[in-house]
Amino acid sequence: MARTGPAGRDTSRFAAPAPRPKVPENLAAFVAYAYSRKGQRVALKKQTIASIGEGPPPADNFKSQIEQWSRADVLLAVPRQLLLAAMPHRSATKVWSMLLDVCLTALRAHPASADLAAHLLSPSTDDECDSVLEQAATANLGHLLDSGTGKPFATAKANALRSNLVHTAVTWLVAARGWKPRLAIASLHRHAWRGGISVPETLRALAEVKDPAPLLAVASAFVEDAQQQRRFAEDAHAREGAALVRLEELEAHASELAAKLAEQRAAYGALTERLATEQREHQNTVSHLKDDYERLRSRILRRLTRELELLDEGMLALRRDPPKVHVMADHGDRAIAGLRDEIRALQSEDSP
């Protein structure tokens, strides 16, 4: 966990811009006052708020002056104090807006926060705020040079600068973008408070804490988060149980439907088979009936043809001169006998 204490205040190289009045009378004076405090806590009194709100707008060179002060604030310790001082007075819209402009100008002017400043205005969701904070926590500060020594920052100073950058960003996102503190703390825990310390150091740090409020806030946030996660888990567990019950019901229903389907399929198969059998039997019956008909038809036809031939021949014999009556008699007898045989056969077939 990164240290959150007031470390990193560079007092040796911080040049005060002007003599500090007792009560700042306008915005420029208040900002100057804040920068003169070199990162220490500042407060915005009602009188100052009234003066700023009712007073004239800042001078034209105020922005360049802020940029100058910001570049002098090597460890970026002041903008966060300005925001913290203004947060209780967000109802004073004009003052709040002016101070946000001042902070934004200072952040844009500072080399460590110049890139980040562009992203501070855009986040609208919790995830976007988290992403901006991650960007601040992982910003590359290696290229920055200490204005005092002209060399890269020492580790302690670099840590202080990164801490101020992260906390300025958190303060901005909570104050200006409405990010929930609980989520901000969780995000800080994920992105900024990395690294661990030994148990004795932890105990020592806890023992040396003079103001337990931050710890309380962090702990409260974590407790609240844990409770919420627990609620989520319980809710998910309940939903899982309900889903399992529902799943079992659905599986039972599916089994029932599968059984019904198999039953229906079996019935369909049996019906199909029966239909095929019936069709086959029907075709067989048709074939048999057709065969019976053909047999009977051809038999009758053959009989009639044969007897007709006999009678025809007998008639030829009868027409001869002299007529051959005996031939006609023979052929007639044979034809009649044949027809009688056929009639008898038909009658015997008719009887069951």
Query: CB 308 → other proteins: shortest distance, Å?
Result: 13
Query: CB 296 → other proteins: shortest distance, Å?
Result: 9
One-letter amino acid at 170 equals: V
Q: Residue 7 or residue 327: which is nearer to other proteins going by CB?
A: 327
Both tokens of 308, joined, read 């007709």
Cβ neighbours of residue 3 closer than 8 Å, sequence gap 6 or more = 159, 163
Q: Residue 177 or residue 324: which is nearer to other proteins going by CB?
A: 324
Q: Residue 181 or residue 332: which is nearer to other proteins going by CB?
A: 332
CA distance 217 to 189: 13
Adjacent-strand bridge partners of 152: 145
Burial class (CB in 10 A: 0-12, 13-18, 19+), 276: exposed
Q: Residue 83 or residue 310: which is nearer to other proteins going by CB?
A: 310
Query: CB 275 → other proteins: shortest distance, Å?
Result: 17
**Residue 321, Ramachandran bin (φ over 0: left; ψ between -120 and 50: alpha; else beta):** beta
CA distance 25 to 231: 51
- 247, containing H or E segment: helix 213-319
Q: Under the rule (CB under 8 A), what is the footprint of other proteins?
A: 280-281, 283-288, 290-291, 294-295, 297-299, 301-302, 305-306, 310, 313-314, 316-317, 320, 324, 326-327, 330-331, 334, 337, 341
Q: Is the dihedral of CA 12, 13, 19, 21 positive or negative?
A: negative
Query: CB 260 → other proteins: shortest distance, Å?
Result: 36
Q: Residue 58 or residue 314: which is nearer to other proteins going by CB?
A: 314
SS3 label, residue 152 = strand
For residue 233, the Cα-to-chain-centroid distance in whole angstroms is: 19
Query: CB 243 → other proteins: shortest distance, Å?
Result: 58
Query: CB 283 → other proteins: shortest distance, Å?
Result: 7
- 172, containing H or E segment: helix 155-177
Q: Residue 20 or residue 288: which is nearer to other proteins going by CB?
A: 288
Query: CB 350 → other proteins: shortest distance, Å?
Result: 19
Contact 89, 53 (CB under 8 A): no
Q: Residue 227 or residue 285: which is nearer to other proteins going by CB?
A: 285
**SS3 letters across 186-210:** HHHHHHCCCCCCCHHHHHHHHHCCC
Query: CB 302 → other proteins: shortest distance, Å?
Result: 5
Residue with tokens 């004076």: 29
Q: Residue 248 or residue 309: which is nearer to other proteins going by CB?
A: 309
Question: Residues, the chain, total?
Answer: 352
CA distance 187 to 125: 13
Q: Residue 215 or residue 315: which is nearer to other proteins going by CB?
A: 315
CA distance 74 to 111: 9
Query: CB 290 → other proteins: shortest distance, Å?
Result: 5
Residue with tokens 């009758």: 300
